[in-house]
Structure 1
Amino acid sequence: MKLVETNDADLIATLNRPIHERHVALMPNFFASYDYERVRKAFAETINRAGHHFLVAEVSEEPVGYIWMQEVTSDANAFRNAKRTLYVRQISIHPGHQRLGYGRQMMEYVEEWARSHDFATIELDYWVANENAARFYDELGFIAKRQVVVKSVETKENEKWRP
């Protein structure tokens, strides 16, 4: 497997479909159905922004997945110290190529990239219902630093939201 930088929003939108549909299956009340044109447009608006990096995983020159990384920095303020971290926005491997070590190789690349660009930390998030992701990142040494919780409130105008 090799990783190749790209600014091809069409390719990333195509590679995004399996992970997007997985998210829809896990959280149908949160995620919109996959719409290639909307997804392609969203990636096209982001792909050339400073600090965003898109890499395609190729096996025998066939694209099998991608990583979207973002350099995140913030100044210190009254509540917290300055922050500089490499944030993995998305990582996806086509289902037919999962469990072959490509995800681990991709994350090893991310770690080396972070190290070589003087990022002391790598951050990412995943949906708590995605138990496979939880195990994968645990095996790679990631630890939880914050937990986001939600409570559904029923109103007259909408039914109770369910995760």
Structure 2
Amino acid sequence: MEIRKATKSDLPTVVSLNDTVQKIHAEAHPHLFKYPVDLSALEAFFEKMIDQLNGLIFITFSDTGDPAGYICAVIHCVPENPFKFEQRVMYIDQMVVSSAYRNIGVGRMLMEKVEEYAKDLEADRIELGSWMFNQGAHKFFEKLGFSKFKAAFWKSI
């Protein structure tokens, strides 16, 4: 497996990989998540992520060159305030592993790559969000040493 930072030439591949995860989220919460998405807008979103100084996308390919997945992360530097200490947090915004490459260590490799990058940037921790319906992902994150630390609630009105 090859893992590297995505470039603008990888954008069509990232957009294509995103389809699976976007569809799952739209099926669970059709009032929140768009499907299908505007592909040019999606490509522009990922291009902005690549261009940001504090953002990155790692992409992985199989030994035969097939796209296997990607992960997007952003470093947030939060200044000290009266309530909290200064924080440097690597936030994982998205991770997608193609169904053909699940359960063989691809997700773990992507997460480890982000952790390595976060350490290089002297981040205090890595955070991510995951929707309640995605219990398989929760188990995966917990296996990697992540723990739940807050809950979010909503009320439709």
> What TM-score comes out, normalization by structure 1 length?
0.87
Q: What amino acid is the match of 2:23?
A: E
Q: 1:67 deviation in Å?
A: 0.8
Q: In structure 2, how many angstroms separate the alpha carbons of the residues matched to 1:28 and 1:138? A: 27
Q: What amino acid is the match of 2:34?
A: A
Which residue number in structure 1 is paired with residue 85 of structure 2? 81
Q: In structure 2, how many angstroms separate the alpha carbons of the residues matched to 1:34 and 1:5? A: 26
Assess if the C-alpha contact under 8 Å between 1:26 and 1:130 holds in 2.
no
Using the TM superposition, name which of 37-46 and 124-133 deviates more: 37-46
Which residue number in structure 2 is paired with residue 30 of structure 1? 32
Q: Helix, strand or coil: the match of 1:87? A: strand
Which residue number in structure 2 is paired with residue 115 of structure 1? 119
Q: Are 1:104 and 2:92 matched, yes or no? A: no
Q: 1:49 deviation in Å?
A: 1.1
Q: 1:46 deviation in Å?
A: 2.8
- Could you give the per-residue CA deviations for residues 65-116 of structure 1, whole angstroms, max 9, x where no partner exists? 1011111111111222111011111110111211111111211222222223
In structure 1, stretches of 5+ residues that fail to align are 154-163
Q: In structure 1, how many angstroms separate the alpha carbons of the residues matched to 2:104 and 2:141? A: 16
Please tell me whether Structure 1 or Structure 2 has the larger radius of gyration of its CA atoms.
Answer: 1
Q: What amino acid is the match of 2:50?
A: I
Assess if the C-alpha contact under 8 Å between 1:69 and 1:86 holds in 2.
yes
Aligned-pair RMSD on alpha carbons?
1.4
Aligned length: 153
Q: In structure 2, how many angstroms separate the alpha carbons of the residues matched to 1:63 and 1:144? A: 30
In structure 2, stretches of 5+ residues that fail to align are none
Q: In structure 2, how many angstroms separate the alpha carbons of the residues matched to 1:107 and 1:24? A: 24
Higher helix share: 2
Q: In structure 2, how many angstroms separate the alpha carbons of the residues matched to 1:54 and 1:34? A: 22
> What TM-score comes out, normalization by structure 2 length?
0.90
Q: Helix, strand or coil: the match of 2:4? A: strand
